[in-house]
Structure formats: structure tokens, C-alpha cells
């Protein structure tokens, strides 16, 4: 799934009005599994000026990106963080780990050829799903429709729960991103 959807899932399930520290842990937990991908993309595209197709066809599959991806998408790592947070009474750590686990749980069934090593460092095994959130050869269009419908429903839930104006503005920007991201890829690959 796309990063904004992971944010919406975690916020809808774990965030609470008037709990800014908790909500920051929720947000960071939802973002951290994709952080290595954003770092790779920004470095490769803007610093090293690697063509985008080269990034995803070759560079992404090389070190250190695969180890970073395994680390940032590890069920065992985040489960240990949740357990440590619960054991020590560190609620924010447990919330952070739970939010990251939600991200992984919703990523797991939607990665086909680009599957992560979700059980790293214990295993390099990858679940190559028959479904993909982006690949048309693995029902990407249907998954995309499902994801968009889910995102809109989650936005409505969050919109009702949170009264702050900045949250409503962020949701409006998020809604625009669901059109802007596909538009970017259409223009980048056809322009």
C-alpha cells in the first residue's frame, strides 16, 4: 500500500484527540517502514541523479538498500519494540511499534515481485503475493480502487474524530495526494 494509506490506518486505529505525543509515535511508526525507500529515492534521484527506472530495476535490489529495507520492514523487530514498551511501561515505544506493525500487516498481502524480507534478520524469505498495490500484472488496478475506497472511509473517520483545523487541512492535502501521485507516475512514464 502507499505510505499515506498506512498513515491513515494507524491514525484511525491508534491516534487519539488531545494526545499529541501518542499521535507523533503513531505517525512515526506508520512512516518508518517506508523511510529507507524515501532515502534511497531522494539520494538516487536528486544527489546521484540516477534515472528513475534504474533506481527501481537495479539500485533498489542492491546493498545497502535491501538490508535497510529488511530492517525497516521486520515483523520481529517491531514486535520486540512493542514487547519492550509494554514490559517497561514505555507506552510511546509500544504505540510506535504497534503502528509500524500495522504498516507491515497491510503491506504484506500487497507486494508481489517487490516483496520485503518481513522476517529479517531471522529469515530472508519473501512472501510474493498474487496481489500488488501498484503492478497491473498482479491486480494493481483493483487493489488501487480498494485502497482509495478504504482511504476515503478512513479520512471520514479521522475527520469526524479530530476537531483541529490542521488535521482537516492535512486530510484535504492527503486526499489530493491520491490523485497527485498517480498523475506524477503517468507523466513521468509518458512524458
Q: What is the mean pLDDT of residues 173-179?
A: 79
| Statement: residue 185 has pLDDT above 70 | no
% of the chain residues with pLDDT over 90: 68
Structural domain including 79 reads: 3-190
Give residue-wise pLDDT tens across range 154-168: 999 999 999 888 888
Give the range among 22-36, 59-73, 89-103 with minimum mean pLDDT. Answer: 59-73
Q: How confident is the model at residue 182 (pLDDT cuts 50, 70, 90)?
A: low
Q: How confident is the model at residue 190 (pLDDT cuts 50, 70, 90)?
A: low
Return the pLDDT at 189.
61
Q: How confident is the model at residue 71 (pLDDT cuts 50, 70, 90)?
A: very high
SS (H, E, C) the chain: CCHHHHHHHHHHHHCCCCCHHHHHHHHHHHHHHHHHHHHHHHHHHHHCCCCHHHHHHCHHHCCCHHHHHHHHCCHHHHHHHHHHHHHHCCHHHHHHHHHHHHHHHHHHHHCCCCCCCCCCCCCCCCCCCCCCCCCHHHCHHHHHHHHHHHHHHHHHHHHHHCCCHHHHHHHHHHHHHHHHHHHHHHHHHHC
How many structural domains are present in the chain? 1
| Statement: residue 191 has pLDDT above 60 | no
Q: What is the mean pLDDT of residues 110-125?
A: 93
**In the predicted model, what is the mean pLDDT of the chain?**
91
Return the pLDDT at 177.
78
Q: What is the mean pLDDT of residues 164-187?
A: 77
Q: What is the mean pLDDT of residues 50-55?
A: 89
Q: What is the mean pLDDT of residues 100-109?
A: 97
Q: What is the mean pLDDT of residues 66-88?
A: 96
| Statement: residue 97 has pLDDT above 90 | yes
Amino acid at each position: 500500500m502507499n505510505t499515506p494509506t498506512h498513515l491513515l490506518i494507524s491514525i484511525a486505529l491508534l491516534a487519539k484527540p488531545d494526545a499529541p505525543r501518542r499521535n507523533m509515535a503513531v505517525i512515526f511508526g506508520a512512516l518508518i517502514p517506508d523511510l529507507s525507500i524515501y532515502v534511497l529515492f531522494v539520494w538516487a534521484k536528486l544527489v546521484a541523479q540516477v534515472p528513475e527506472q534504474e533506481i527501481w530495476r537495479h539500485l533498489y535490489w542492491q546493498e545497502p538498500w535491501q538490508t535497510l529495507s529488511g530492517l525497516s520492514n521486520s515483523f520481529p523487530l517491531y514486535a520486540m519494540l512493542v514487547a519492550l514498551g509494554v514490559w517497561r511501561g514505555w507506552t510511546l515505544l509500544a504505540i510506535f511499534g504497534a503502528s509500524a506493525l500495522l504498516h507491515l500487516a497491510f503491506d504484506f498481502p500487497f507486494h508481489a515481485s517487490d516483496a520485503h524480507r518481513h522476517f529479517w534478520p531471522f529469515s530472508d524469505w519473501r512472501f510474493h503475493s498474487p496481489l500488488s498495490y501498484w503492478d497491473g500484472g498482479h491486480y494493481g488496478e483493483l487493489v488501487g480502487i480498494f485502497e482509495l475506497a478504504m482511504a476515503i472511509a478512513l479520512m471520514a473517520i479521522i475527520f469526524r474524530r479530530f476537531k483541529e483545523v490542521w488535521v482537516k487541512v492535512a486530510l484535504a492535502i492527503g486526499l489530493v495526494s491520491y490523485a497527485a501521485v498517480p498523475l506524477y507516475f503517468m507523466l513521468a512514464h509518458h512524458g
